[in-house]
Amino acid sequence: MTAVVIDGKAFAAGVREQVAAHVARLKEEHGLTPGLAVVLVGEDPASQVYVRNKGTQTVEVGMTSFEHKLPVDTSEADLLALIARLNADPQVHGILVQLPLPPHLNSELIINTIDPAKDVDGFHISNVGLLGTGQKSMVPCTPLGCLMMLRDHHGKLAGLEAVVVGRSNIVGKPMAQLLLGDSCTVTIAHSRTRDLAEVCRRADILVAAVGRPEMITGDMVKPGATVIDVGINRIERDGKSRLVGDVHTASAAAVAGAITPVPGGVGPMTIACLLANTLTACCRANGLPEPEGLTV
């Protein structure tokens, strides 16, 4: 079998188009412009690239982008004061604090200071609890993007065996909750899982989110399975720097029914879902109906 390649880049462009259409309607009918505030502390090069891309795409869909770039030695009190100001600002519907933060800042405290209604990352403990109990919440962007692609590819997911490899708060755990919410039979595998290959081979849906380059190989994939590769790992090969996922794409694609590539799979969906979450937050804040198909 040669897998169908799920084109995340095209899918993300479609999501952004839908968001842009909703934003135009919000402006026309209600005089509202969704606003997203992104806070970056320090000068980590990868974070700077992410923040720049977020800002550009926010403006492209017609939203307002507020960027707050703070020096690496910003105090916790100053950062908390900025978040309090953003929480109170009616023009700001979404707040994202770029992670990782410098080690002197308490990330959990800072994330849990964001108004949960503006927590477009879905990292606030209230949103984690709401998602875990099947209530309306803000859903973390990367797993939301994966779920959108899976629903599009499969239609209904009920009854499918799903294996999520990786137990991070950002991807693995919320991904498992979302799949459970769609009535999959869910297993979370991790570094201590015994016979990982055997566990993975049970999966109709296999989500790899471990951060280990090309760790999931074709022999770990059930024939016909859908493989979602969340990994973005920069490696050196043949003297060149390249991006690879957590899945060994060539061997997995020979067995899988469908697979997301790296780059161009899950990656572009993350920012598209951040924009979707900002739109959702703006609608909720103003008592308006939520956009269909852009949230769970």
Nearer of residues 252 and 266 to ligand GUN, judged by Cβ:
266
Range 187-196 contact pairs with CB under 8 angstroms and sequence separation of 24 or more: 187/161, 187/162, 187/163, 188/163, 188/164, 189/163, 189/164, 189/165, 190/165, 190/166, 196/165, 196/220
Query: Per CB under 6 A, which of residues 60..119 are in contact with ligand GUN?
Result: 96-99
Q: How many residues bind ligand GUN (CB under 6 A)?
A: 7
| Least distance in angstroms from the C-beta of 271 to ligand GUN | 9
Cα angle 49-53-57, degrees, rounded to a multiple of 5: 175
Element (H, E) at 107: helix 107-111
* CB-nearest residue to ligand GUN: 99
Q: Is 177 known to be catalytic? A: no
Q: Tell me the closest approach of the beta carbon of residue 121 to ligand GUN, in angstroms.
A: 5
Nearer to ligand GUN, 162 or 232 (CB): 232
CA angle 195, 247, 256 (to 5 degrees): 85
Q: Under rule CB under 6 A, which residues in 120-179 are in contact with ligand GUN?
A: 121, 141
Does residue 121 have an active-site annotation? yes
| Active-site residue (options: 18, 119, 121, 182) | 121
Nearest by Cα to 119 from 154, 136, 98, 94: 94
Among 214, 228, 222, which Cα is nearest to 265's? Answer: 228
Q: Which is nearer to ligand GUN, 113 or 270 (CB)?
A: 270
Catalytic: 173? no
How do 233-237 and 240-244 pair as beta strands?
A: antiparallel
Give me the least distance between CB of 248 and ligand GUN, in Å please. 23
> In 10 A of CB 215, how many CB atoms?
17
Q: Which is nearer to ligand GUN, 63 or 157 (CB)?
A: 63
Residues of this chain that interact with ligand GUN (CB under 6 A) are 96-99, 121, 141, 270
* Residues acting as catalytic residues: 54, 98, 121
